[in-house]
Amino acid sequence: MKIAQAKIGDAPKRREDERFLTGRGAYLDDLAFDGVSHAVLLRSPHAHATIERMDLSAARAGAGVLAVLTSEDVTADGLSPLAPSVEANARTGEPFAFLPQPLLGDGVVRFVGEPVALIVAETHAQALDAAERVEVDYAPLQAVVTPAEARASAAPTIADGVEGNLYLEWNTGDPAAVEAALARAAHVVELTLDNHRIVTNPMEPRGVVGIWDPASERYTVHVSSQNIHAIRGVTARILGEKAVRFLAPDVGGGFGTKNFAYTEYALIAWAARRVGRPVKWIASRSEVFLADHQARDHRSISKLALDAEGRFLAFQASSVANLGAYLAGGMGGVETVLYAHLAGTVYAIPAIALHIQAVLTNTTPNGVTRAPGYAEANTIIERLIDTAARQCGFDRAALRRMNMAPTDAMPFTNALGETIDSGAFPETLDKALTRADVEGFPARRRTSEANGRLRGLGFAYHIKGTGGSPHENVDIHFEADGSVSLITGTQTIGQGHETTLPQILADRLGVANGLIHLRESDTDRIANGGGHGSSRTTYMAGTAIWRASEEIVAKGLVVAGEALEASPSDIRFEAGRFSVAGTDRSIGLLQVAALARQTGAPLDTYYAWTRDWMTFPNGAHVVEIEIDRDTGEVAVARYTAVDDYGVMVNPMIVAGQAHGAITQGIGQALLERTVHDREGQPLAASLMDYALPRADNVPFYDLGFNPTRCTTNPLGVKGCGEAGAVAGPPAIANAIVDALAPFGVTHFDGAATPARVWAAMRGGAG
């Protein structure tokens, strides 16, 4: 494949797509391993129960069965339970209350889908047969499903050490200033919101292949994951081993659900050691619904104080997050850092106060999806502003515009002391409203009404801090064949890094883009890495590439000076060549690299750095929806977005990321919602009853950009992977309320399924 040369700002097609489109991708289930055996996990059918008896004899006698393992075997081999990666409030130092998650149910199960036995057999079918032969007697206990149930005075204690089923409770901001502002305000608006739970559902389910090498006494673990270095560390601690290598082949999506460690990673590696064979486990789609970390599930009561002209005086929110049966990964940090980071988003609100709780329930552990914490905070403020406009008689756009931090105030520090380095919020909002032809909306509404449909207009402004793990590194090698290996600690899970990261290096070094090859996803290849989460890669790896390039050029000046018989101070580097100033003498970088290799001092460069600040992508999304009067079905008729992603390395890939996030936002707003009955049984646990967005659920998107250069990194980039999942749900909800106003509907919580919208039209409430 011929790859055109490309620099920052160009839009070459994704080089990885040829591999995928011709069937040469290598997802986990595509990999072949000699002598591989297959694992199945027997999972609890109860949300809360004690295990009274387990009979494994029939299962162990099954054809092809190699092992049937339980918590007794885990204990006998000295494995540790799974603890969260964040155990304390980073702002206060206060430890969270939590029970480490057992690798296999150790007498009590706490959610439907918790594994209680691990079966390994010669074939997957034999393992499934053996799992059906395991006899387990459960004694069901009272299940706690909602935060209200968890905090009720008569609620059972689900886990020792988690008093009152409360993982954490925290206050931040200035409550006294907020109360004073509420008391003197001309208007006080209150809103109760339920940001409902969803299942992330990446294209490729999670999976693990574990291998134990007795000769080297080392584990090798292949996973479908987006954060192998961090997960390796957690898994090594569980196994009590330092010699653990993690690899991730092509990964079919993650969206956050593959960001943290799971019990299966250690279990499958350990099983490989027990049976003396490679062991493979690939989650079924049912297991994705039962056992993958879920997302959102955030309830809030908020207030906004305004003066007579509509200027915001104070914002107050009391929220409770349902984090499920175990404190997963960094979820304590999501609630105490990310959610609280930009609570007032882009608005200059003088006083902010937050009261935050996170509770334990008998549901699947909650994790992250696109824009964890930030999406919840954005939804609250954008829904609250629309409510204020409606109740107090303000124009929705004007109310936002007058309260936004102005462009000339950048960098802007909010009431909680967090600084946003760049942005043109009012201008971006106006560009979006103009691009969406909001002035033409009344005419389009009349046309919809003539066709028997309701039409609504909604918009929302989004912002998110991106950066994820604060540490990243790259290792750049000039190979003997003239190619360049770019090794990173980040991971690609579908974003196009094989295209964009070489673009950055090609731009900096003047090397043909096609000669640069991205190498990643192997903990042996590079010792550390932050993986991919929080739209971090272009910012974090890109900055490391930029700075490593500076070191490469500095080394090259010395070698070029010797080759050109000139002082390094007289040599200039431009467009891939070192030239002696004022002469026609020059030498190419790759020639210099070859000379340096011969001297034993190659130009190969490793660079690691730690960020101090995040980047802050932001923008305005404008939505028009139509509602069928007879059925309540909601259709997104128009979707316009104008976003600020700073410098765009590859605008085509930026657009692709924006499309994906918007589609997921539409899915949450209209289709996706997990539901449990009173016993904690999930009622939407398959693609038969949990709807994902399809092509006919979305319109063609109209995307525009209003970039302001980010000042927190030398590239000027901002993360681009999450905007639509932040702005989409509140914009759509605002549009639905606008459409249903003739029915007396003043509030609606998603998902806006036809039945729920139909009921709202007839009951006057959402």
Question: CB count, 10 Å around CB of 763?
Answer: 11
Mean per-residue pLDDT of the chain: 96
The string of pLDDT tens digits covering residues 52-100 is 999 999 999 999 999 999 999 999 999 999 999 999 999 999 999 999 9
Please report, to the nearest 10 degrees, the dihedral formed by the alpha carbons of residues 381, 387, 390, 391 taken in order. -120
pLDDT at 763: 87
Handedness of CA 711, 714, 720, 722 (dihedral sign): negative
271: left (phi over 0), alpha (psi -120 to 50) or beta: alpha
pLDDT above 50 (res 554): yes
Dist. CA 193–CA 304, nearest whole Å: 14
Confidence of residue 4 (pLDDT cuts 50, 70, 90): low
pLDDT above 80 (res 765): no
Q: Please, what are the domains in the chain?
A: 17-26+469-610 (3.30.365.10), 31-70+105-141+203-253+258-291 (3.90.1170.50), 143-198+293-417 (3.30.365.10), 421-466+615-766 (3.30.365.10)
205 closest CA partner among 288, 263, 281, 290: 288
CA distances from 146 to 169, 306, 323, 541, 675 (A): 17, 33, 10, 40, 11
The string of pLDDT tens digits covering residues 231-264 is 999 999 999 988 999 999 999 999 999 999 999 9
Three-class secondary structure assignment of 125-182: HHHHHHHHHCEEEEEECCCCCCHHHHHCCCCCCCCCCCHHHEEEEEEEECHHHHHHHH
The token pair at 93 is: 């130092």
pLDDT at 3: 46
The string of pLDDT tens digits covering residues 377-409 is 999 999 999 999 999 999 999 999 999 999 999
The crossing angle, in degrees rounded to 10, of helices 723-740 and 651-670 is 40
Dist. CA 27–CA 254, nearest whole Å: 13
Query: What is the separation of C-alpha 527 from the centre of its chain, rounded to a whole number of angstroms?
Result: 23
Mean pLDDT, residues 162-186: 97
Question: CB count, 10 Å around CB of 241?
Answer: 17
Dist. CA 589–CA 468, nearest whole Å: 33
pLDDT at 1: 44
Q: Report whether 135 contacts 55 (CB < 8 A).
A: yes
Question: CB count, 10 Å around CB of 486?
Answer: 23
DSSP bridge partners of 605: 476
The string of pLDDT tens digits covering residues 287-337 is 999 999 999 999 999 999 999 999 999 999 999 999 999 999 999 999 999
464 closest CA partner among 693, 751, 657: 657
Report the share of the chain in percent with pLDDT over 70. 99
DSSP 338: I
Dist. CA 763–CA 422, nearest whole Å: 45
Q: What is the DSSP string of 407-449?
A: GGG-SEE-TTS-EE----HHHHHHHHHHHTTGGGHHHHHHHHH
Query: What is the three-class DSSP state of 479?
Result: coil
- Sequence-ordered list of residues with C-beta below 8 angstroms from that of 188, at least 6 positions apart, any chain: 182, 303, 304, 305, 306
550: left (phi over 0), alpha (psi -120 to 50) or beta: alpha
Amino acid at 331: M
Please report, to the nearest 10 degrees, the dihedral formed by the alpha carbons of residues 121, 127, 133, 135 taken in order. 90
Question: CB count, 10 Å around CB of 189?
Answer: 19
Mean pLDDT, residues 185-195: 98
Q: Report whether 294 contacts 199 (CB < 8 A).
A: yes
Q: Report whether 658 contacts 724 (CB < 8 A).
A: yes
Q: Report whether 162 contacts 99 (CB < 8 A).
A: yes
pLDDT at 363: 98
CA atoms within 13 A on the CB side of 431: 17
pLDDT at 5: 66
Mean pLDDT, residues 340-349: 96
pLDDT above 60 (res 578): yes
Handedness of CA 727, 729, 732, 735 (dihedral sign): negative
DSSP bridge partners of 588: 577
246 closest CA partner among 77, 491, 476, 40: 491
Three-class secondary structure assignment of 223-241: ECCCCHHHHHHHHHHHHCC
The string of pLDDT tens digits covering residues 584-608 is 999 999 999 999 999 999 999 999 9
Query: What is the three-class DSSP state of 69?
Result: strand
Query: What is the three-class DSSP state of 318?
Result: strand
Instruction: Say whether the peptide bond before residue 765 is cis (omega within 30 degrees of 0).
Output: no
β-bridge pairing 279-282 and 218-223: unpaired
Mean pLDDT, residues 501-529: 95
- Sequence-ordered list of residues with C-beta below 8 angstroms from that of 760, at least 6 positions apart, any chain: 632, 740, 743, 745, 748, 766
Amino acid at 146: T
- Sequence-ordered list of residues with C-beta below 8 angstroms from that of 695, at least 6 positions apart, any chain: none
Dist. CA 219–CA 211, nearest whole Å: 6
Mean pLDDT, residues 337-353: 97
How many residues are recorded in the chain? Answer: 766
Dist. CA 590–CA 577, nearest whole Å: 9
DSSP bridge partners of 698: none
Dist. CA 370–CA 659, nearest whole Å: 13
Q: Report whether 675 contacts 755 (CB < 8 A).
A: no
Question: CB count, 10 Å around CB of 153?
Answer: 5
DSSP bridge partners of 517: 485
Q: Is 0.85 surpassed by the pTM of this model? A: yes
Dist. CA 23–CA 644, nearest whole Å: 35
Beta strand spans in 505-663 (E): 516-519, 571-574, 577-580, 586-588, 605-610, 618-628, 634-644
β-bridge pairing 279-282 and 37-43: parallel
CA atoms within 13 A on the CB side of 272: 29
Mean pLDDT, residues 30-37: 97
What burial letters (b/e) apply to 524-538, b meaning 16+ CB within 10 Å?
A: ebbeebbbbbbbbbb
- Per 3-state DSSP, the chain is made up of helix, strand and coil in percentages (nearest 5) of 35, 25, 40
Confidence of residue 766 (pLDDT cuts 50, 70, 90): very low
CA atoms within 13 A on the CB side of 350: 15
The string of pLDDT tens digits covering residues 447-472 is 999 999 999 999 999 999 999 999 99
Q: Report whether 300 contacts 339 (CB < 8 A).
A: no
